[in-house]
Structure 1
Amino acid sequence: MRMKTSDEDLARAAADGDADAFANLLQRHYDRVFRLAFRLTGRADQAEDLTQDICAALPTKIAGFRAQAKFTTWLYRVVVNAAKDARRRQASHSRAAAGWGDVEQLRRAEATETAQAMDWLQRAMRSLPLDLQDTLALTLEDEMTHAEAAAVLGVSEGTVSWRMSDIRKRLRALRQEELAQ
């Protein structure tokens, strides 16, 4: 009996909550939806996903069927719109992923630059006299204040400040010498 019922009548019944009518419509048109989804996406896995998404959304969407066109025309419109939405989501994800890729590349470049600067600083520190090495190691990256470093080293705060000034001069000179080469 259901096989002779028109798609439009089944759609109206499904919209009114008739589960058998909905199941019958799905049985009739599932392959058609998949084929169109495949033509729109070009990939079987994407067509399967799209078809499943459409089938999951169809119980809600079918309430919007007004029988102003054939059911298949309405269904094709649903499939085409779902494919457009999927393409938009994919494009948004791609743009977001590309943005994150740029951020990650920048982060890695900064990390590399920081590592290179630290390597240079370690090499440069080894060229300093031991008392300056100790002072720099204690005060590097604001680890300790000049007063705290002075207490550890057993010298005055003024001596630590003088040493830091001397260290800056020596490191600048070393850097200039390396750049000149």
Structure 2
Amino acid sequence: METPDNDLATAAAAGDRAAFSALISRHYDRIHGLCWRLTGAKAEAEDLTQDVCMALPRKLAGWRGEAKFTTWLYRVVVNAAHDRRRRQAVHARAASGWGDYEVARQDEIEAGREAERWLYEAMRGLPGDLRDTVALLFGEDLSQAEAAEVLGIGEGTVSWRMSEVKKRLRAFAAREAKA
């Protein structure tokens, strides 16, 4: 005569490994079938079945025997499926958020590259003395006095050159806007 599920569950809850093994052997296909119907996908069903089987020893600690074992087991499987769906929804929302963040970050990077390309093209159109001045002031972060010393010119000339650079860059931008 076969031992009833409720007796096996009570014994398994008390730590009887043979009773637990008998329960798993007897109900594995039932668990898997329900998981398949709940998830609709073979791989998901297999993962969920394994999750349920691994959680059963802990879950059996709360077994009170008030319901038929299979009813209790179905509840465990359904709750595990709900928990899995919630986790997947949270992960999807988080991934979506990161995706949006990454898209925005890539857009910023591309905008920076575009600005660099524009500046590179504009700088190529400047005479060497103006390019040298810009390179020292912005590229090397020198003061006008330091740039004047390096270039061997007066500070007033550095100021005039920067004014000329701004004028030429505005003209370059205006030509590009028309094109």
TM-score, reference length from structure 1: 0.91
User: In the alignment, what sits opposite 1:100?
Assistant: 98
Correspondence for 2:168 among 164, 170, 174: 170
SS in 2 for 1:64: coil
SS in 2 for 1:144: coil
Listed as ranges, the matches of 1:1-181 within 5 Å are 4-140=2-138, 143-181=141-179
Over 3 Å counting, the alpha-carbon distance change for 1:14 and 1:165 in structure 2 is same
Hey, what's the Cα distance between the residues in 1 that align with 2:149 and 2:59? 76
Stretches of structure 1 that go unaligned for 5 or more consecutive residues are none
Q: CA RMSD in A?
A: 1.6
Give the CA deviation at 1:137: 1.8
Hey, what's the Cα distance between the residues in 2 that align with 1:117 and 1:19? 69
Hey, what's the Cα distance between the residues in 2 that align with 1:157 and 1:78? 81
Give the CA deviation at 1:177: 2.8
Over 3 Å counting, the alpha-carbon distance change for 1:43 and 1:134 in structure 2 is same
Percentage identity across paired residues of the two chains: 60
Stretches of structure 2 that go unaligned for 5 or more consecutive residues are none
Give the CA deviation at 1:67: 1.2
Over 3 Å counting, the alpha-carbon distance change for 1:73 and 1:166 in structure 2 is same
Give the number of aligned pairs.
179
Over 3 Å counting, the alpha-carbon distance change for 1:148 and 1:28 in structure 2 is farther
Hey, what's the Cα distance between the residues in 2 that align with 1:64 and 1:44? 29
Tell me the amino acid that sits aligned with residue 41 of structure 1: T
